[in-house]
Structure 1
């Protein structure tokens, strides 16, 4: 069953709307002024940076909204939170969220490698996690492929919150969640940016961003992108056109309203297939070497298109006296059409013809509609020496998905000498063929309706240098899949404390719980009950005095119960699983003397199956979950002298071995660790003289030494995925 494990996993019945503390009120002016258009402030480090090619919103240094739904400094947040700003996205020429997560501790990145960049697929602390946009959950299809993806041209910053977070956000993964924040209007008369890139695999990207004031308190912004590339595998290509517009009314007053609309058209989404296990991770003894990374096991006419549209509002009102109200909501629409032929795993005949592999076919037509709204009231009160920052909220989320799909057979293919055109790609679910019966497969229609509402409260207590965080939430969730209805209620909570010492060191401890409703149908015909999670985290944060360098370290221990366990081949589901994840993470970043800045992320983790209906799986790892990794970024941008305006940088990315699970013969496999290097060269053309103000040129190389490696494998399904080979791209940018 190809479609099932290609999605994000179990159904997430909605997470309480994460309302970012920034909203429209924090969207202040940030682009450089007319006298120094190339200087700005890096929101991650606070250091002066050069050659900014994107216009971003100004935020206080080292603030994070997602962990507490407030602008609490990272150094005072008793939880692991990683922030990636738009400056880093631009510096590293990052094309999607998958690539951004390469530089976050605790992440097994790009689990489907170069074959699935159309989706954001990674593991955080060993788990699939939901994604939010502008503080509101992005619904994904519970059964298929209708899942949204936010283009990087829209992103102002990314916040990765690690660990159980249901106490404020409702149904969620114990691994955490990711929030992407859109670019919003900023308070300047007129500003803009444009950039154009071209590189390997005919990769191209043209981004534009312009905005300003229409009058007193009225701000606007319009931005978009046209981008695409040929994929690493033969016959595939990506193409996207996306446009976003936003307007803020009442900016700078006690009441403001921002409306944001976005549209994306993806006529081509690349090749969504897999490589066989034998010929990649396992040597094919009957063939000469491994399969090339360019091999595609489908047909040239395979297709995968997607259309996305969303409208968001953000409303703020300041009552005075420290009390504020915030409301945000979004309607999201996603449509996708997919028709593919894919290698179905093992060799068709390993002895007589070892290079011949079996294939299958699949087609789907899907639609997803979702509505999310979140409201919160915040204020401050004092009780003796205690200062309480209170929050009270209520939210509601609704998602309706409809999928028409069919699985069928396909002709075999010689992977080492492929001949295409032996069959047609199914044009629709009605055109999928059952070769054994010499007829068409009857499509299956799946209709799922998800609904959740919750109430939550939080108290941030300050007593001198002691910070205590108490959060609690009660949820009511309902799911209906093909007429079957399940209802769940759950209370989740969090308790955490952090102490700021005079040395800049802040140790903390926290305990939090999560729940994750699952609308999957079990083997006995009933619907699954929610999985439950709990996490202990102990850590410390050190803001080195007199610098912007923040060092964070954390030990975590997570347990998740009531997990769905799927049988290979039949994919029959039972609910007896339990997973334990524990590990240590370290992140650091900031400015160094002589124009250097750095960022380091290190993690080591042990994720185990501790309870399963299959005793052979108990004590083993979880498929496509890695043991950890290390990334290091270092840039040099001298502030004076003959090299001023030049930036030279690089990155090292090391990913430890990733567990692949048990093959059909009972053998356990893991993909080997890999290390790749990236490079950056950029020059501020304004240093050449008058006429080049605001212009810069850059060159980026990813996987500089063109290493061939596997990101992950599913041994039980005989599938593997290659990582991205070397890509080089040049970019010309201009800001004003």
Structure 2
């Protein structure tokens, strides 16, 4: 019912909007001095109250020459143009269009105030940007409009994350089509997830456009402005990327508007959290701006003896000496104290057990031994400069350090040496300490050209990654534990046998180029290519003179076209490729039949087509896409557990997503996913044609959020959401399946002046369910009900 209501609301808002015609710009004479140097013009847009208006569409036109931009959260946008006479048009949902002549060069910023449109339109101002995105840097590295990028992109805005009070990245992505969030259920260490059936955890998580080591680290959503999901092979801009795509976490930046938010949280599992977010200009001119984030949390979780404690500080400083230059320094430090996820047998979680149901709070380890202590820090910069000849150079750099000290005692299923045993589980003590040092840099040059009816946005870039991971791994057997009546502290844990102690160094150099070509404002052609050089060196400290090296050289690309019909409907089609190194893996040599050859990189290709809908008069955005991804050179194991590089897997699917911020404070987010994955080639014949494990075939979600804007109950709001996750296979042979489940989330809030009180609950009905299994002895409970109350004070 929720999804049906969402679709009806989308249709009622979209159909009349699509029927609206675009008003023509007033006729005027114009001229452009194409031989003169390019200059910059900054446009500030406000509403009638003077509040900065973000996501306003800006157009500068002179005949067939058209320049476009979208205002940011500070209500401004900067465009580069040749001297001449132009017509400036500004458009935004809920406001009447503004048109005026502009004579370039412009010595001072242009200030536009947009009058209100009809009473039924949506008004979106800075700080209340709604659920609807219009532009993204992830899909093109040019901050292109979403409707012009020939690829499915989802963006979870800061307002949506705050409305739902998300506390992990997995929570942020639960309503996003194509994403399988909470892949392994309750996992306090990391954010495990898949995109279009492919693991995204290893190489698919980014922060501000550069790789974030999510196999050791984890970001708090409190640090994030938004989360972007780029679906499908994306190596053309990012190098090593999983076939399903990538997730880009966008950090909060210093703002030109002074603001401070102090918040406190109390919730289930003894959760106590305090946080502060303060930002604003340092000097009167706003040349220097700052932001400081701080967070302290002490909390338990639904699993016994498993904390979720965190300490976080994240300062940043921006320098804006002119409209042509800006530089932002960012840093953060985070300390986490938590523990491992729990591996539980299927008998008692998924299936019946004569002793009853295994509680969701079950802990199979030993207090005092189990634990994860993580210290992570980063420092970097992002900056750009617009030169007088029109070239804009942008550069990002980050150094990331993660010290991960983790050990656990996990279960291996019921002890089969005991007849008819359904209570005692065998256990293994395990440690995985590692230290990660990651240097990443991405520098690119951008230039826009106009030739008659043709407009081009060209970028040339270079990026480099230097990832050094020192890691050990050790284990030992531990005495059985009665899973229904555990007794802790009576087991002697033997010394661990360390079978891994190595230093892995991954270096990648990438050269890329992209051309976005727009013809007559109706067709956008996107062409890109990239050459990567990746090398992995592994030093094994457990064996004398045991060093291995392997290099991968790959060319990847993307070609796509989007048809801008002029009515807000844009069909698109694209072909893209990607590669992913199998660092540290070895395959069987064809002559010796021994696993001594370094594995080559896996390759993937995708065909994707779809349609994007962005109504002119309604603040909404809809994307529908179909795709097929084939990954080759996949590692597959034989009966002796030796790898062969002869596998191929395929993912076909349909994704539909709609977001809207409609009139009177109503926000919607709805989605549907069909992901049909299967094994195409495998050395084990029984696997061919089977589903890929831990990938549900169907997912449906719908979220309604409402805030009363006026009257007696002004400031009162809330939301309600439903998530359905379909059946998924437990293993590659599909020996058993995990049943589907449906969950509900809800929130209630009240804002008065500078204060906001809210309460949010996930899994409102407290449904007990198994998220997935990776075998009969390894099943993972999903998250139980979690209720959190928050109080915020803003000044």
TM-score for the superposition, normalised by structure 2: 0.81
Larger mean CA deviation between 317-326 and 553-562 belongs to 317-326
Distance (Å, rounded) in 1 between the aligned partners of 2:261 and 2:569 = 39
User: What is the deviation of 1:322?
Assistant: 3.4
Aligned twin of 2:28: none
Aligned twin of 1:173: 242
Q: Is the 8 A contact 1:30 1:58 kept in 2?
A: no
User: What is the deviation of 1:581?
Assistant: 0.1
User: What is the deviation of 1:31?
Assistant: 13
Deviations 1:245-291 (A, max 9, x none): 1111235432221110110011x22333311122222323xx23221
User: What is the deviation of 1:677?
Assistant: 0.6
User: What is the deviation of 1:594?
Assistant: 4.5
Q: Does 1:322 align with 2:386?
A: no
User: What is the deviation of 1:117?
Assistant: 2.8
Q: Is the 8 A contact 2:131 2:659 kept in 1?
A: no
Q: Alignment partner of 1:705: what SS?
A: coil
Aligned twin of 1:14: none
Aligned length: 676
Counterparts of 1:539-578 in structure 2 under 5 Å? 539-566=610-637, 572-578=642-648
| Match of residue 524, structure 2, among 460, 464, 467 | 467
Q: Does 1:411 align with 2:471?
A: no
Distance (Å, rounded) in 2 between the aligned partners of 1:98 and 1:424 = 36
TM-aligned CA distance change 1:452 to 1:340, over 3 Å: same
Q: Alignment partner of 2:432: what SS?
A: strand
| Match of residue 596, structure 1, among 662, 666, 670 | 666
Q: Is the 8 A contact 2:609 2:627 kept in 1?
A: yes
Q: Does 1:639 align with 2:717?
A: no
Which structure exhibits the higher relative contact order, with contacts defined as CA atoms closer than 8 Å and separated by 6 or more residues?
1
Q: Is the 8 A contact 1:163 1:535 kept in 2?
A: yes
Q: Is the 8 A contact 2:364 2:481 kept in 1?
A: yes
User: What is the deviation of 1:104?
Assistant: 0.8
| Structure 1 unaligned blocks of 5 or more | 1-24, 142-146, 433-440, 687-693
| Match of residue 779, structure 2, among 712, 720, 735 | 720
Counterparts of 1:155-174 in structure 2 under 5 Å? 155-174=224-243
Q: Alignment partner of 2:289: what SS?
A: strand
Larger mean CA deviation between 642-651 and 516-525 belongs to 516-525
Aligned twin of 1:288: 355
List structure 1 runs of 4+ shifted beyond 4 angstroms: 25-37, 39-52, 54-61
What value does the CA root-mean-square deviation take over the aligned residues?
Answer: 2.9
TM-aligned CA distance change 1:397 to 1:641, over 3 Å: same
Q: Alignment partner of 1:113: what SS?
A: coil
| Match of residue 367, structure 2, among 296, 300, 307 | 300
Distance (Å, rounded) in 1 between the aligned partners of 2:383 and 2:260 = 25
User: What is the deviation of 1:224?
Assistant: 1.7
User: What is the deviation of 1:28?
Assistant: 12
Distance (Å, rounded) in 2 between the aligned partners of 1:306 and 1:535 = 37
Q: Does 1:684 align with 2:755?
A: no
| Structure 2 unaligned blocks of 5 or more | 1-39, 57-71, 74-91, 95-120, 540-546, 588-594
Distance (Å, rounded) in 2 between the aligned partners of 1:368 and 1:51 = 42
TM-score for the superposition, normalised by structure 1: 0.87
Aligned twin of 2:213: 139
Aligned twin of 1:703: 763
User: What is the deviation of 1:357?
Assistant: 1.2
| Match of residue 277, structure 1, among 338, 346, 364 | 346
User: What is the deviation of 1:56?
Assistant: 9.1
TM-aligned CA distance change 1:139 to 1:562, over 3 Å: same
Q: Does 1:674 align with 2:741?
A: yes
Deviations 1:480-517 (A, max 9, x none): 12311001111101000000113211100000000111
| Match of residue 500, structure 2, among 413, 425, 444 | 444
Q: Is the 8 A contact 1:56 1:183 kept in 2?
A: no
Counterparts of 1:574-653 in structure 2 under 5 Å? 574-653=644-723
Distance (Å, rounded) in 2 between the aligned partners of 1:611 and 1:82 = 31
Aligned twin of 2:280: 212
User: What is the deviation of 1:228?
Assistant: 3.8
Distance (Å, rounded) in 2 between the aligned partners of 1:28 and 1:281 = 59
User: What is the deviation of 1:314?
Assistant: 0.9
Deviations 1:215-268 (A, max 9, x none): 2411111112112421111111111101101111235432221110110011x2
User: What is the deviation of 1:35?
Assistant: 9.2
TM-aligned CA distance change 1:661 to 1:59, over 3 Å: closer
Distance (Å, rounded) in 1 between the aligned partners of 2:398 and 2:239 = 17
Aligned twin of 2:549: 485
Q: Does 1:245 align with 2:315?
A: yes
Q: Alignment partner of 1:610: what SS?
A: strand
Aligned twin of 1:15: none
User: What is the deviation of 1:139?
Assistant: 3.1
